[in-house]
Amino acid sequence: MYKNNLKEVASELTLLYAEDDNSAREATVKLFSPYFKSIKAVTNGAEALNEYCERQYDLVITDMAMPKMDGLELIQEIRKINRMQYVMVCSAYDQTMLLIGLLNEGIDGFIIKPIDINNAFKNLIRVCTHIQVWKEISQQQYDDVQKRVI
């Protein structure tokens, strides 16, 4: 059930995925690839930030504990560039202070490792639906402005 729904809302979306663990990164990309338009997977927060500066992504999913730049630092840097960026965290951490920090940064969802597919897809459907609605509203506003200009 969730798979079809995810395909409906994510098939035109791009995803940037930051995960330092090779096997977890490969498995997650393999799991999510059939549903997204494209996925760019990177190995750490610094690489993710560089990639993000090069190209816009509809959704960023990041691990928390990574070398060079952790997930919280990555989120903070992305928020400096685009406060409205949709960001999810995929992590095994369950520490209260970490979660408070993430909530303060306005993350859009949390996927707990090891990944429970149904829970992950449910969270992705919710976030991807928000992204699609936001894109439709933005496009409609753009179209309305263009009509007034012409």
- As for how many domains the chain has, the answer is 1
Q: Please state at what angle helix 96-104 crosses helix 71-81, rounded to 10 degrees.
A: 10
CA atoms within 13 A on the CB side of 127: 26
CATH number, position 50: 3.40.50.2300
* Ramachandran assignment for 106, one of left (phi > 0), alpha (psi -120 to 50 degrees), beta (any other): left
Residue 42, H or E segment: strand 38-42
- pLDDT tens profile 117-135: 888 999 999 999 999 998 8
Of 90, 31, 80, residue with least CA distance to 59: 90
What does the pLDDT read at residue 100?
A: 59
Domain that holds residue 42: 2-149
Q: Is residue 139 very low, low, confident or very high in pLDDT (cuts 50, 70, 90)?
A: confident
Q: How confident is the model at residue 101 (pLDDT cuts 50, 70, 90)?
A: low
As a whole number, mean pLDDT of residues 86-98 equals 75
Q: pLDDT higher for 89 or 150?
A: 89
Query: Could you tell me if 125 and 111 are in contact, meaning their C-beta atoms sit under 8 angstroms apart?
Result: no
At 10-38, the pLDDT tens digits run 999 999 999 999 999 999 999 999 999 99
